[in-house]
Amino acid sequence: MKRPKTNKKPSGTARGQKPRSPMWTRSGNPGKTGAKAKAGTSQKGRRIAELAAAGRRLGGLLAAGLPVRSASVDGDETGSCRTDEAAARRQMNDLWARHGGVLSGLNPAGPEYAAAASAFARGYCERTGLPDKGWFPFPSDLRVSAVILLHGAGPEAFAVQDSPLLRLFGELQRLALHEVILASRDEAVTPQLVQACAAPWLEAEVKLVGAGGVSAEAAGAAGAAGAVSGGGEERRAAAEAAEGDILVFLDASVFSAAEEIAALAGTVAGGSDAALWSVSAELPHFHKRPPEVMAKQFVNYALGRRDLRADSLTVLPHALSRQAVTKLGAALAHPARAHGAALLEGLAVSSVRLSGGDTRAARGDRPFAWMDRSRASDHLEALRLAMERLGPRLFYPDNRRRRGYAADADSPYIAEEPSVSGDFSRESI
């Protein structure tokens, strides 16, 4: 007996609906599920493991036969020597910058670079007989200056055990920095305190800069005048005192890992003038965002950089090239205005975020409130600067209205729509 035919829909399909289609991602490509997703993950894990093994071998091979500098031990009458770890760290970084490219061009913010670079440093230390202290090389041999903004923090920041500042010093010790600059407005933070507390940690040249641009050496001669008060001037003064080709600005109240600092510096070394730390993925829904975040995003949209979303130079950490520091000049004292000026000057501005996300923000180690100290009015100043240069409509033409017919003959607003040069076209910005 034949079973009668029915119009039963396929499983999982309701009346009037089409059969289910494969899952699609936001990019419009079919998403990987099940075995395919596991295969992709395992393939990526294998590649990371292969790069780590290759980096470790390469570090050991390049370190073979190379002399490692030594330094005399203070107070040792026999003239004993110890390995100069700062010089060895710079040597390791130079070797990686010159020969690490054989592992292929790796994204400095990706897990592949982190695995290969850290393994290279381990291989170097094993070959030279140095203890593994977690060194992490930059992807370039350009000089990197770390600028730490103390934001009014006093001497207690150097004394509290496991404070964010001391934890930050520990991360900077993993990097081959050219110098470290502390910018403070507190008179109690003296060059003597900095040299006694910071120099032993960092094993690098350390400077203290105040709002008046006073360095550690000059401040030692000037006494209490070494720390000068004055808002955002510390940032500008530190930039003027820095000698590096790349400047990484850090917040003393916020922990930043060596991998993050290297990613910012590597992005600038790769051609960007400004590398912003991306926080847009951590933001809540638009209606729950604070006014300063809305203002930041509006400025980026108005200046044709929708891809930056709410990322800005007001967020720490970030990195600048020497060219950007020279062009921005005094605007560095006002980070929001400097951000607008960077976009108007045509500087290459990009956002950086480590692959895999930032778990510290979720744990509370990096609260968003500490990362951005700007106000909505600061970003509106940047928008006003853009309107002064480009006109009230920026580079958006008005093809419908003819305001000249309604304006008074003596009105300053009777002028035609401002012409925009090619430097400020939508494509260039």
| Token output for 333 | 């004292």
CB 429 within 8 A of CB 422: no
Structural domains in the chain, CATH included, are: 39-128 (no CATH), 144-383 (3.90.550.10)
**Amino acid 299: pLDDT:** 85
Q: How many CA atoms lie within 13 A of 418 on its CB side?
A: 18
CB 311 within 8 A of CB 351: yes
Q: Report the percent of the chain where pLDDT is more than 70.
A: 68
C-alpha dist (Å) from residue 394 to 64, 335, 380, 422: 59, 21, 14, 13
pTM equals 0.75
Provide the residue type at 178 as one letter: H
pLDDT in tens, 131-163: 999 999 999 999 999 999 987 677 777 877 778
**Amino acid 104: pLDDT:** 72
**Amino acid 406: pLDDT:** 65
Nearest to 124 by CA among 95, 97, 103: 95
pLDDT in tens, 180-214: 999 988 788 888 888 877 877 777 788 888 743 35
The angle at the Cα of 374, spanning 373 to 377, to the nearest 5 degrees, equals: 155
**Amino acid 7: pLDDT:** 57
- Rg (Cα) of the chain, in Å, rounded? 27
Instruction: Give helix 111-128 / helix 258-269 axis angle, nearest 10°.
Output: 110
